[in-house]
Structure 1
């Protein structure tokens, strides 16, 4: 297969980003004040088509926007950031091949990884073997448990973070007895296992688990089996499934029951356009949606503006939803590169352990224009990042904060045995 058949072409990349001023990180750019002949190459293992295409586009926009913003300020250690993007098609086998392309053909030093759990889990050992720093956007637990290594840093919140952050609030606010409706994929399984354990640890229980085939056309036969005695319904849904499941819950007569969406999944579809079927829906999220709900709104506005996000957390170009937590994490991933490279003296792939050791000694990321989330810290045991997180609720056509959970209260015991 020719590279042009799967690769994000210059024309399509510019078309997708030009309206937001993001097209400047292509290899032909002249970087003022930097060594343009010796760039730091950052790959995007992007989910640009397939089930996660909408999210992948916003993640790509955020990476490119952050790279441009830093390049305007001298790049990283006097070197420009060159961004190279490929398309996983949201398929595991394709995603693996695209990662190999980024590593072998494009000579990437760092890669922002796919949001797909299957792709992410399969990609970690490939990046490690090549000594390439991998920054996955997947929230599946095993990425920073079984496969944790010094070349892996995860800035998105995994299933265990979401469950630990939410467990007490769910019991106190809604009740102890829960059903979970999940997409039957790695992500759904990870969420089910994490929330089952978390609720059990505080006296609650998941009494029923209903797994839906991904992209299920008719969820009604599955949802008719829901236990009507539960206090609340957890949802861990692949984006396309959400738009069918929430209306179907109303149809089967449980629409009035409290519902709680796990792990930033309300960013996978346009929840605010779903009407009464999502009124009052609670959701775990890594970031607020509305700029006014950020504790550092002025600093956050910089990233929002560069990426193309408006003050309500939606696109400034038309009325479009945004994969907001991943976009913020992408911005922070590029900022982490700058901070850690300049701090550690990293110069090439050979310095991956040096980068990791520096991060162990300097785990806290200072809140500001580079790092938007308060109390953002990278844990040395598994290089999983933790930060303040939130429980949100759909209220009158807006997604508003109803509870904030401090970073320290989201930390679970590490299971990784990482060696450096």
Structure 2
């Protein structure tokens, strides 16, 4: 497959890759699916703590820094596989950092969100008030993120959400919220650029009929304008398992069949669209098949393509190190592909601590102002997912992505998508807010 670079916007370069032929790293993460706000007025569940008496001998400009790191984890509920892997990789990373002679001593404390907005907010409050967390890495659920954002400002605790709803670092954000992960807007921009060039211009979008799917639909409409068209919009209620009646509405002229669905609808989408021989090349976000063994969906998923942040099989030293930290090989639970989000959030926290001179919560202002300098990082052991930058105005990170395709029992990496500028202007400027 060959791409004509002259036809691509200067902000995005698509580099076609063969399997195993990737030299660098790039990417993004997940759908951030809200996962539903299942009921639960619980107190956030039992907390867990991991710490090491790490070397505090010298190193960073901040001197010896004692840091309590909170993790607002989706340990139960629809996104529990993310919570499992976020906690697992952070336990390993905290231990590694504490063993290094870098002047830091970290303690990790964890509270369960149950993938529920109300309980997620309670979990954050416990992390901030009971555990006195200095920083909190947030849930993969956008619903939990949005419920938590106001608390971050109220309690004055820097919050690093992992979900992908655009408004998290937009209208619903504030100066205490920093997203070092991707959002749906950049996902859609990169996906449209690649798919129009490689799959087709006539799209049908099958989407979950709530915020996650609706935001995907809106973003796809924006970036397809002038390049292609959405010929059918098919909303699917949350929890739907039988998609036949919806898939029968797909027009015959469909060239790209885009799925913005969450489990269990997303897996049934693959199986039932194959059974019905629904027209269109199937395309979507990797989060739709997270925690699923490709071998289990081999026949149904053949040829389906996905926007991916960091392909697990990517042959790089940094990715191999990340997998060691997360102890991937010894895990019994199905693997998600986006645990790098939590790992890199901690990398950014450590970098900001060291470069801002942070010593305690009294230094939170200078810590946050560091992110407002629009810092950028390159692929490294600390940032295995690849090059990225943070826009200072809205505290939103921008980064590269991959296209993965189901081929046999494997996810074949077929393209790298490079994002060098934000595809849209910032809707807000948090630097104008007072602390």
TM bracket, shorter-chain basis: 0.7 to 0.9
For residues 96 and 317 of structure 2, what CA distance do their matches in structure 1 show? 16
Q: How does 1:229-308 map to 2 (within 5 A)?
A: 229-254=253-278, 257-262=280-285, 264-267=287-290, 269-292=292-315, 297-308=316-327
Q: Runs of 4+ in structure 1 displaced over 6 angstroms?
A: none
Gaps of 5+ in 1: 11-24, 310-314
Partner of residue 342, structure 1: 354
Kindly indicate whether structure 1 or structure 2 has the higher relative contact order, using CA contacts under 8 Å at least 6 residues apart. 2
Partner of residue 179, structure 1: 204
1:140 Cα deviation after fit: 0.9
SS in 1 for 2:264: helix
Q: How does 1:370-389 map to 2 (within 5 A)?
A: 370-389=382-401
SS in 2 for 1:371: coil
Pair 1:9–1:203, CA change in 2 (3 A):
closer
Pair 1:410–1:324, CA change in 2 (3 A):
farther
Are 1:135 and 2:148 matched, yes or no?
Answer: no
Q: Deviations over 1:93-146 (max 9, x none)?
A: 111111111111111111111111111111111112211111111011111111
Give TM-score, length-normalised by structure 1: 0.86
Equivalent residues of 1:157, 1:263 under 8 A apart: no
1:53 counterpart (80, 94, 115):
80
Number of aligned residue pairs: give it.
387
SS in 2 for 1:269: coil
For residues 112 and 92 of structure 2, what CA distance do their matches in structure 1 show? 18
1:6 Cα deviation after fit: 4.5
For residues 358 and 243 of structure 1, what CA distance do their matches in structure 2 show? 41
Partner of residue 215, structure 1: 239
Equivalent residues of 1:131, 1:350 under 8 A apart: no
Between structures 1 and 2, the one with greater helix share:
1
Pair 1:117–1:6, CA change in 2 (3 A):
closer
Give TM-score, length-normalised by structure 2: 0.83
Pair 1:262–1:361, CA change in 2 (3 A):
same
Q: Deviations over 1:54-103 (max 9, x none)?
A: 1211111122222111111146xx34111111111111111111111111
Gaps of 5+ in 2: 1-40, 59-63
SS in 2 for 1:192: helix
Q: How does 1:54-93 map to 2 (within 5 A)?
A: 54-74=81-101, 78-93=103-118
1:4 Cα deviation after fit: 10
Are 1:101 and 2:126 matched, yes or no?
Answer: yes
